[in-house]
Amino acid sequence: MNPLKNLSVIRKLVQLTTFVFFIYGGFLGSYYLADKVSGALPALHCAYNMDGADLCTLVPFQHQMDHRLGPIIAQGGNLLMGLMPTLITLGTFLLFFVFLNKAFCGWICPVGTFQELLHILGQKLGLRRTGSLDEETVRRTRPVKWAILGLLVFGFPLLTGLGWLNHDMGDPFCRICPSRILSTLAAGDTSQLYVDTATTTTLFWSLVADFLFGLMIAMALTIRLPFCRICPMLALHAVFRKLGLLRLVKNPSPRCGKCGLCAKACPMDIREIHTEMDKHNVTFEDCTLCGRCVEFCPDKDVLQLKYTVFPLFSADPQYFKVRKKAQTEWEKKTLFGNHAQGVKKSGAKPT
């Protein structure tokens, strides 16, 4: 299959290009090019990487809860003045988000790119990979991202600003975010991969951060996008997903009830793509708009990536046949020669 006609290959090229830009883009305009581009990127990227080209919106949200809104509430000040920085950050986030919607996760996010590259490495090493996670595991995992968004991004920082928690609780998500370690390590800075023994709180957060980063690496080799499933940025995207101009739409056919290839192809195990027969817009809360479900749908125009009313990429039986063959050939190739790759659970999946 011509790589330039393979949506997954095109997406990988975009991911790698944006990864290089966001990790090393600061070289184009000195430290913190983020100050010149945006401090509210709708994807994970860390402000601790001074060579980076942007920082994610979760950074200022925590800072504003701790240093602006919390103190103003505690001191009885002007609430609107306390909220204004957060509203400006949210507005900047939405200006970016509305153009690409949740594709910031599937096409732009450095942490997502890193996990996908690790999964490819796991396949090429011949590791026995897990196919789709079982339905109960997916159901129990989905609320975690909302808890992290509510508690670590907004809740604990606000309570710190109110004076109810110590200062080390002012930016809890940043303290454990894998992007903090990934972004700095990729830029040659090892200072964030450490155990902070200054206080009991910093010791706890640094241990959690190191464990989570290591766990993400280990799991990503055999499981698709393990951290993305609990990422608070995914939850924030879900809140505003209906505002985005890019979306996934479905025009179900009678065969949809029996097929299920779209759900097997989905790296986030969104089975509702298969089972939903009424909603036209199927950009579900965990969707990253990667387009893999569209690639592996065998029926004409049943699934589409649309930008407003314009189809960008549609399911096509001819594309499906060629794409499936290319995927099968890719799966056979490992670093140890050509052989069929084992996947846990019965049935092959498009990875």
Q: What is the pLDDT of residue 323?
A: 96
Tell me the domain boundaries of the chain: 3-235, 246-334
Burial of residue 240 (CB within 10 Å: 0-12, 13-18, 19+) is middle
Q: What is the pLDDT of residue 341?
A: 47
Give 58-87 pLDDT, tens digit per residue. 999 999 999 999 999 999 989 999 999 999
Judged against a pLDDT cut of 90, whether residue 94 lies above it is answered with yes
Classify residue 25 by its DSSP letter. G
Overall average pLDDT of the 44-57 stretch:
85
Q: How many residues does the chain have?
A: 351
The pLDDT confidence band at residue 346, using thresholds 50, 70 and 90, is very low
Give 320-343 pLDDT, tens digit per residue. 999 999 999 999 989 887 754 455
Q: Other C-beta atoms within 10 Å of 37: how many? A: 19
The pLDDT confidence band at residue 25, using thresholds 50, 70 and 90, is confident
Looking only at Cα atoms, what is the longest distance across the chain?
69
Classify residue 220 by its DSSP letter. H
Position with higher pLDDT, 345 vs 307? 307
The rounded distance, in Å, linking the Cα atoms of 247 and 12 is 19
Overall average pLDDT of the 6-16 stretch:
97
Overall average pLDDT of the 262-272 stretch:
96
Please say whether the beta carbons of 294 and 314 come within 8 A.
Answer: yes
Judged against a pLDDT cut of 70, whether residue 180 lies above it is answered with yes
The H-or-E segment that residue 155 falls in is: none
The pLDDT confidence band at residue 39, using thresholds 50, 70 and 90, is confident
Q: What share of the chain in percent tops pLDDT 90?
A: 80
The rounded distance, in Å, linking the Cα atoms of 178 and 193 is 10
Cα 262 to chain centroid distance, Å, stands at 19
Coil, strand, or helix at residue 104?
Answer: helix
Q: What is the pLDDT of residue 28?
A: 67
Judged against a pLDDT cut of 60, whether residue 349 lies above it is answered with no
Position with higher pLDDT, 66 vs 21? 66
Nearest residue to 66 (alpha-carbon basis) of 193, 180, 168:
168
Q: What is the pLDDT of residue 159?
A: 98
Judged against a pLDDT cut of 80, whether residue 209 lies above it is answered with yes
Give 211-260 pLDDT, tens digit per residue. 999 999 999 999 999 999 999 999 999 999 999 999 999 999 988 888 89
The rounded distance, in Å, linking the Cα atoms of 134 and 102 is 24
The pLDDT confidence band at residue 49, using thresholds 50, 70 and 90, is confident
Coil, strand, or helix at residue 307?
Answer: strand
Position with higher pLDDT, 104 vs 258? 104
Helices (H) and strands (E) in the chain, counts: 17, 7
Q: What is the pLDDT of residue 129?
A: 85
Q: What is the pLDDT of residue 254?
A: 87
| Averaged confidence pLDDT in the chain | 92
The rounded distance, in Å, linking the Cα atoms of 49 and 70 is 27
Please say whether the beta carbons of 37 and 21 come within 8 A.
Answer: no
Percent of the chain as helix, strand, coil, to the nearest 5: 60, 5, 35
The rounded distance, in Å, linking the Cα atoms of 236 and 286 is 11
Please say whether the beta carbons of 56 and 48 come within 8 A.
Answer: no
State the DSSP string of 232-258.
HHHHHHHHHGGG-SEEEEE---GGGGT
Overall average pLDDT of the 309-327 stretch:
96
Q: What is the pLDDT of residue 347?
A: 41
The pLDDT confidence band at residue 4, using thresholds 50, 70 and 90, is confident
Judged against a pLDDT cut of 60, whether residue 345 lies above it is answered with no
Q: What is the pLDDT of residue 177?
A: 97
The pTM of the full predicted model, rounded to 2 decimals, is 0.92
Q: What is the pLDDT of residue 29?
A: 59
Overall average pLDDT of the 290-295 stretch:
97
